[in-house]
Structure 1
């Protein structure tokens, strides 16, 4: 259960600060802590193969993040 006082404090942050907080929290989660089903693994394998086959299609995470941060002000 989420601490409601903590959640209320987080909601008072501006958007850029909330995005940064989310990023920090996500980075603190060890990948081994997250369960991944065999179906999810197969999907990830297909997506990795697609990315390897066409590496220049789409945007890098750095470009997407910079764009989102720019919109947030």
Structure 2
């Protein structure tokens, strides 16, 4: 089965089934398959340090969605 055929089949699944499928696929990757670059690791470390320094400085997903809706109107 080709990647296109798999994607077409996946589109017929419910959102919950698609989430489960993605989780199953993700679990198939070995840790070595998910290597990141030094620059990516540095950026992740920087973001984590920023969050730890000001954990209250966050925006909820609902706020982001509302801001996007407001911009489209």
How does the TM-score come out when normalised to structure 2?
A: 0.57
Moved over 4 A (4+): 56-59
Partner residue of 1:71? none
Alpha carbons of 1:19 and 1:57: their partners in 2 closer, same or farther (altered >3 Å)?
Answer: farther
Unaligned runs of 5+ in 1: 65-73
Cα RMSD, aligned residues only:
2.6
Instruction: For residues 38-65 of structure 1, give each alpha carbon's deviation from its aligned partner in whole angstroms, at most 9, with x where no partner exists.
Output: 1111101111212322345548xxxx7x
1:4-19 equivalences under 5 Å are: 4-19=4-19
Unaligned runs of 5+ in 2: 62-73
* Structure of larger gyration radius: 2
